[in-house]
C-alpha cells in the first residue's frame, strides 16, 4: 500500500493547485464547480524567470520586420489591434520586470498585456476588452467573504459527502471543502466582476507562474464570448460536465503555453514550494480535479470534429454529464444523455425530505443529488489515497502518464453509469439531528449494475461494515465510527438502490423495502 500511496501522491504533487474554488463549498453551479469563481492552474513553475533590473515593465527591443509568432525580435506596434498584440505588447516580447520583490503596477500591466497576447496566439482569437488582474496574499484569499449557506443546504451537503465516504458525521463537509481550496488554489477568475485574482505565497505581489495567469485569462476570454455566469448546472454531475468544457479549453491552452515558456517565450515565474498534501482532502481533490483531467480530451475530440469552431459551439449546448466528458463520443451526436432516475419518497416515522435551499443571491440548484460517474470514480479511487487499508483499485489504474489527462475516472466498477439520484432525509422528531439518504443508480445493463453493487459492498467492508443478514443486503458500521450507520444495498435488473439510516430498524422507515 505504501508504494501505491506514494505513486498517487507524487502525481498529485505535480497537480496541486488545480482543485476547485467553491464559493459556497457546495455543488452550486458556476464557471467551474463553484458559483463564484473558476479555479487556478497547476502549481508547476517554469524554470525560466524574467527578472530584470529596472522595474518598469517595458519592452527590450523592436524590429519592424519581425514576426510576433516566431520568437524573433519584437516588431513595431501595429496600426490596429490584431491577434498576438495587446495594449502595446507582442506575444514574444521580452520584458524587464522585477518579479523577485513583487511586481509594481506598471510591471503587472505589462505582464498581463503580454500574456493576453499569448493566449490570443494559442487560441487564435482576440480579446474583446482588457481584463483586470490583482495579486493577493493567501491570507486575503482565505478571508474573502462567502455566501451564507442555508441550514438545509448544509445538511444536504453533509449527507452527500458522507454517502461518498469522504466526510463523516463528525465534521462539516463545507469546512473541509473550504479548507481544501484555501490551501492549494493559485488563482481564479470571478465572472461577477470580470476580475482575475492571483494568489501570492510570499507576501509580495509576485507572479508564481505565468501559466496560471494564462489559464485564468482563457476564462476571461470565455466569459467575453459565452457569458460563463449563464452556464449553470443543478447537480454535481452537471457542473463537472460543464466544467470539463470550460476547464478543458483553459488547460489545453495552458499546456501549450507552458510548452512555449523557456523556449519560444520568456516567462515570469517565482520559486515556491508545492502545497502540502497533508492539508488536502485527497478524495475531494479527486472529485474536483475531474474537469482538468478529462476536459482536455473532450476539447481534443471537439477540435477533431470541427476545430475551435466546434469548441465555441459546445458552449451553447455543453455536456450534460461527466460521462460525456469521460467518453466524448457520448457527447457528440448521437448523444447519450443521462437517464432521469425515478425515486419516490416513502419515508415514515418522522423522517422528512431535505430540500436544499440556495443562499440569497445564489443560483438555484436541484433538490436532489446526482454525483455521476466522476463522483463514483472518485469515491473508489479515494481508497488508493487514504492509506488506511488495501485499495479497491489498482493504483496504476488511477494515474496516467499523459500530462493532459493525468488522472483516470473510467473504471470497471463505474463504467456503464446511466444516471443516479440521491435524496436526503432528516428526523426532527428524534431530536438528535440524525440524517439518512436513499441513493438510486441506473446502469446500462444488469451486468454493469451487478458490478457496481459488488464493488459498493467491497467499499462498505473497506470502511468497516459487516453484513447484518446472510444475504449481504444489510450492512452496519459501528456507531462509534465516523460513518457509523446501517446500509441496505439491493439490485433489481439494471438498478441499484442504497438506503442509509442510523440503525437497521430505521431503514424501512426511511425507504420501504
Q: If you average pLDDT over residues 470-487, what whole number do you get?
A: 94
Supply the DSSP symbol for 62.
Answer: -
Does the pLDDT at position 177 exceed 80?
Answer: yes
pLDDT in tens, 76-87: 889 888 999 999
**What one-character-per-residue DSSP string does 336-350 give?**
-PPP---------TT
CA angle 247, 251, 252 (to 5 degrees): 115
Q: Are strands 133-137 and 195-200 parallel, antiparallel or unpaired?
A: parallel
What dihedral angle (degrees, nearest 10) is formed by the CA atoms of 218, 224, 229, 230?
A: -120
Average pLDDT, the chain: 84
pLDDT tens sequence across 178-219: 888 877 788 899 988 899 999 988 778 999 889 999 999 999
The reported pTM is: 0.88
* Start-to-end Cα distance in the chain: 38
Backbone angles phi, psi at 442, to 5 degrees: -100, 145
Question: Would you place residue 148 in the very low, low, confident or very high pLDDT band (cuts 50, 70, 90)?
Answer: confident
What are the strands, taking DSSP E only, across 348-492? 351-354, 417-427, 435-443, 466-467, 474-476, 486-492
What nine digits make up the cell of 78?
Answer: 501595429
Please classify residue 58 by burial: count the beta carbons closer than 10 Å to its beta carbon, then call 0-12 exposed, 13-18 middle and 19+ buried: middle
pLDDT, tens digit (0-9, with 9 covering 90-100), for 386-398: 766 688 998 888 9
In the numeric block, the cell 503555453 is attached to 257
Amino acid at each position: 500500500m505504501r508504494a501505491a500511496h506514494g505513486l498517487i501522491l507524487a502525481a498529485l504533487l505535480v497537480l496541486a493547485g488545480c482543485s476547485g474554488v467553491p464559493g459556497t463549498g457546495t455543488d452550486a453551479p458556476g464557471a467551474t464547480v463553484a458559483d463564484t469563481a473558476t479555479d487556478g492552474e497547476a502549481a508547476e513553475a517554469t524554470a525560466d524567470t524574467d527578472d530584470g533590473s529596472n522595474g518598469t515593465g517595458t519592452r527590450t527591443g523592436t524590429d519592424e520586420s519581425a514576426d510576433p509568432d516566431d520568437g524573433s525580435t519584437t516588431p513595431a506596434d501595429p496600426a490596429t489591434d490584431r491577434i498576438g498584440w495587446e495594449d502595446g505588447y507582442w506575444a514574444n516580447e521580452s520584458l524587464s520586470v522585477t518579479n523577485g520583490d513583487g511586481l509594481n503596477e506598471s510591471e503587472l500591466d505589462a505582464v498581463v498585456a503580454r500574456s493576453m497576447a499569448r493566449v490570443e496566439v494559442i487560441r487564435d482569437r482576440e480579446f474583446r476588452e482588457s481584463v483586470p488582474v490583482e495579486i493577493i496574499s493567501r491570507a486575503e484569499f482565505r478571508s474573502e467573504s462567502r455566501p451564507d449557506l442555508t441550514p438545509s443546504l448544509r445538511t444536504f451537503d453533509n449527507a452527500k459527502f458522507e454517502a461518498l465516504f469522504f466526510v463523516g458525521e463528525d465534521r462539516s463537509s463545507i469546512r473541509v471543502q473550504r479548507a481544501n481550496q484555501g490551501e492549494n488554489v493559485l488563482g481564479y477568475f470571478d465572472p461577477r466582476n470580470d476580475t482575475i485574482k492571483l494568489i501570492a505565497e510570499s507576501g509580495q505581489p509576485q507572479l508564481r507562474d505565468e501559466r496560471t495567469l494564462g489559464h485564468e485569462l482563457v476564462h476571461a476570454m470565455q466569459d467575453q464570448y459565452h457569458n460563463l455566469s449563464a452556464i449553470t448546472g443543478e447537480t454535481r454531475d452537471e457542473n463537472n460536465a460543464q466544467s470539463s468544457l470550460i476547464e478543458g479549453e483553459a488547460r489545453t491552452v495552458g499546456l501549450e503555453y507552458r510548452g512555449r515558456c523557456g523556449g519560444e517565450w520568456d516567462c515570469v515565474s517565482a520559486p515556491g514550494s508545492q502545497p502540502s498534501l497533508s492539508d488536502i482532502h485527497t478524495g475531494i481533490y479527486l472529485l474536483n480535479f475531474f474537469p482538468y483531467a478529462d476536459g482536455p480530451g473532450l476539447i481534443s475530440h471537439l477540435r477533431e470534429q470541427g476545430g475551435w469552431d466546434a469548441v465555441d459551439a459546445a458552449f451553447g449546448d455543453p455536456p450534460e454529464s461527466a460521462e460525456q466528458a469521460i467518453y466524448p463520443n457520448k457527447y457528440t451526436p448521437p448523444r447519450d444523455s443521462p437517464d432521469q432516475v425515478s425515486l419516490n419518497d416513502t419515508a415514515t416515522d418522522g423522517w422528512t425530505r431535505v430540500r436544499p435551499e440556495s443562499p440569497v443571491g445564489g443560483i438555484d440548484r436541484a433538490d436532489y443529488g446526482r454525483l455521476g460517474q466522476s463522483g463514483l470514480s472518485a469515491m473508489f479511487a479515494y481508497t488508493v489515497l487514504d492509506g488506511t487499508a488495501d485499495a479497491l483499485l489498482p493504483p496504476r489504474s488511477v494515474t496516467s502518464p499523459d500530462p493532459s489527462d493525468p488522472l483516470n475516472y473510467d473504471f470497471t466498477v463505474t463504467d456503464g453509469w446511466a444516471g443516479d439520484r440521491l435524496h436526503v432525509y432528516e428526523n426532527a422528531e428524534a431530536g438528535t439531528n440524525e440524517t439518512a439518504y436513499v441513493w438510486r443508480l441506473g446502469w446500462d445493463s444488469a451486468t454493469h449494475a451487478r458490478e457496481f453493487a459488488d464493488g459498493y459492498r467491497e467499499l462498505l467492508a473497506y470502511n468497516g461494515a459487516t453484513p447484518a443478514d446472510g444475504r449481504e443486503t444489510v450492512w452496519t458500521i459501528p456507531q462509534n465510527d465516523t460513518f457509523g450507520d446501517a446500509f441496505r444495498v439491493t439490485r433489481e435488473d439494471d438498478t441499484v438502490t442504497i438506503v442509509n439510516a442510523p440503525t437497521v430498524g430505521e431503514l424501512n422507515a426511511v425507504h420501504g423495502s
